[in-house]
Amino acid sequence: MKKILLASALLTSSVLMPVVAADYVIDTKGAHASINFQASHLGYSVLAGRFNEFSGNFSYDKDNIAASKVTVTIDTSSFDSNHAKRDKHVRSDDFLDVSKYAQATFVSNKVEDKGNGKLTITGDFTMHGVSKPLIIDAVKIGEGSDPWGGYRAGFSGTATIAMADFGFKKDFGKVDLILHIEGIRQ
Amino acid sequence: MIRNKLLWKNNQQQYGLLGKFLHWLSALAVLTLFASGYWMVELDYSSQWYQTAPHWHESIGILLIAVTLFRLFWRGIAGSPAAITSHSLVEKKASATMIVFLYFVLFSVLISGFLISSANEQAIAVFDWFKVTPVVLAIKNQEDITGLVHYYAAYAIIIFALLHAVAALKHHFIDKDNTLKRMTKL
């Protein structure tokens, strides 16, 4: 009886309440998300790497995209370009200075629906103690039930930052960020 | 035959030729490594030395590990000269302690350096003559932690070597005893 009451209460509330965007936790545990970067090497080629450790969550509802939000916190010491000495240098005070600035964060403040699954996410990206607006061109890959009883939604996005904007001692120009995010609905 | 032995092996009065050679070779290598390390970490990316200086620094360092292991082995076989009778008990204790300290700090700086290079998880080339298998520890960001040890141990060895040299010069010029000659006389 109690269960039926609870179920009917839930049903009623879901019918009567306005649509609330669902909350997702980014699946870093299962590594179904990655924060990658690409930078130019001498103008001759592309150097790629990533941040191995980060966490975050987002809210998303396909019927109310403007209400979406995303927050990501990156452990800067997890910088990895598959070259220990370069990583050590990038973590040093010439660049990320991770002993002083252990985290980089992105907090969205506007999400626009561009149609066809495309989104523009605007927010503040804070790294090396400097906050700058960042625009992510994102695309929804898909959403739906997973085989283990959960519900997931995934996106990809790109953004570009300039090293000079973040006050690093050394400057190697622009860095492209390539983001793949999968969230598990809570 | 006896003269030959006296020349090569250590005796009660002085170090043998091989012992002297290994000592001064190590001194030269340590100073070269410190100076090159101090200089190379500040090199600009566009410097022509940016790749060769660390490569040579690592090569000399790895060779010095082998030389130092052999030096200890030789010290075990050849023995070391008896303490000079005119030295006070404090001086005898201090010099014996300093030798232990110098070897300890020398191995600390050499091994930590080797572990920085090892963090790339690739074989380390010694002057392109041969390659050494890296040692990868089960710690996160091995290059950062061993880098810190390498940094402080490098300054420590220079400070200890300086004290060691000052003491030797004090014995030579002030006490006018045989201390320094045991390591220089040919």
Q: State pLDDT tens for residues B40-78.
A: 999 988 999 999 999 999 999 999 999 999 999 998 888
Chain A residues close to B139, C-beta within 8 Å: none
Alpha carbon distance A112, A139 (integer Å) = 11
Q: Å from A126 to nearest chain B CA?
A: 23
What pLDDT was estimated at residue A3? 57
In DSSP notation, B56-97 reads HHHHHHHHHHHHHHHHHHHHHHH--PPPPTTS-HHHHHHHHH
Q: Is the ipTM of this complex over 0.90?
A: no
CA distance B166 to B169: 5
- Considering only CB atoms, B147 lies closest to which of A77, A88, A172, namely A88
Whether chain B has a CB inside 8 Å of the CB on A83: the answer is: yes
Residues A15-50 as b/e (b if ≥16 CB within 10 A, e otherwise) read eeeeeebbebebbbeeebbbbebbeeeeeeeebebb
pLDDT of residue A48: 96
* Four-CA torsion B114, B133, A94, B35, nearest 10 degrees: 40
pLDDT for B13 equals 74
Between CA A40 and CA A34 the distance in angstroms is: 20
- How many Cβ atoms sit within 10 Å of the Cβ of residue B109? 26
The one-letter amino acid code at B156 reads A
pLDDT tens digits, residue range A102-118?
Answer: 999 999 999 999 989 99
Contact (CB<8Å) A91/B144: yes
Residues of chain A with pLDDT under 50: 10-18
A77, B120: Cβ pair inside 8 Å? no
Is the pLDDT at B108 greater than 50? The verdict is yes
pLDDT of the residue at A41: 94
Q: Report chain B residues whose CB lies below 8 A from the CB of A85.
A: 54, 116-117, 119-120, 143
- The candidate with the shortest Cα–Cα distance to A37, out of A183, A162, A167, is A162
What torsion do the CA atoms of B136, B141, B145, B151 make, to the nearest 10 degrees?
90
What pLDDT sits at residue B113? 96
| CA–CA min distance B81, chain A (Å) | 43
